[in-house]
Amino acid sequence: MHLKTTKCNSYCLVATPVDHEIFCQPQIREQFEALFLEFDPSTSFQFFKSFRRVRINFTNALAAAEARVKLHKSDFNGKEMRLYFAQVVHIGSPRLEPPKPEKQFLISPPASPPVGWAQSQDAMPVVNYDLLCAVTKLGPGEQYELHTGTTNTPSVIVHVCEDDSSDGEDETAEGSKRMRPKIIQTRRPDYVPSVNQ
């Protein structure tokens, strides 16, 4: 991000608000220019009709300062004229620059990944064989303490659940598969003939 800096141009004055007749009538324009040509005969003028402003460019900074002191808030053609030093605004770079490269890949959809980007490899799963071995040795209703509790931490205990099914109740004739529960169908409402014919 570029910083915006503002400096006063000591060679230029801006007159505002300017009477609309300056832009239309050459005689009034010549009278306006004559006011500033007394301070510097090489003064140039830029007329901005839509903004009702005139930029007055001097070749000498002292002449511009003297003109501002003498003519600021003076009366011209029945209206008060105010004079200000023109400001030069510098925004860092003369061109609009693209965003930083590290932000470009966040734009949706991304054109391509940033330079040097590589897909991360999935880590191998961590299997705690000691825990698996201890759980296989447990019988129903027994417990295994994984972590012994201290005054600051709780203990972690694994309980093996008991088998809820009674012997032979949910087994088929072969004894190898469990029977699926029977799905009870919802009864269809009784048919009522419509009265409209």
- pLDDT, tens digit, 9 for 90 and up, residues 33-84: 999 999 989 999 999 888 889 999 998 888 888 999 999 998 888 888 899 8
- The fraction of the chain above a pLDDT of 90, given in percent, is 12
For residue 142, the tally of other CB atoms under 10 A from its CB is 11
Beta strands in 1-73 (DSSP E): 5-16, 44-48, 53-57
Question: What was the pLDDT predicted at 164?
Answer: 60
Spatial separation of the C-alpha atoms in residues 103 and 185, rounded to whole Å: 58
> CB-based contacts of 154: which residues, under 8 Å, 6+ apart?
none
Domain annotation for the chain: domains and CATH numbers: 12-87 (3.30.70.330)
Report the length, in residues, of the chain: 197
Assess whether pLDDT exceeds 60 at residue 168: no
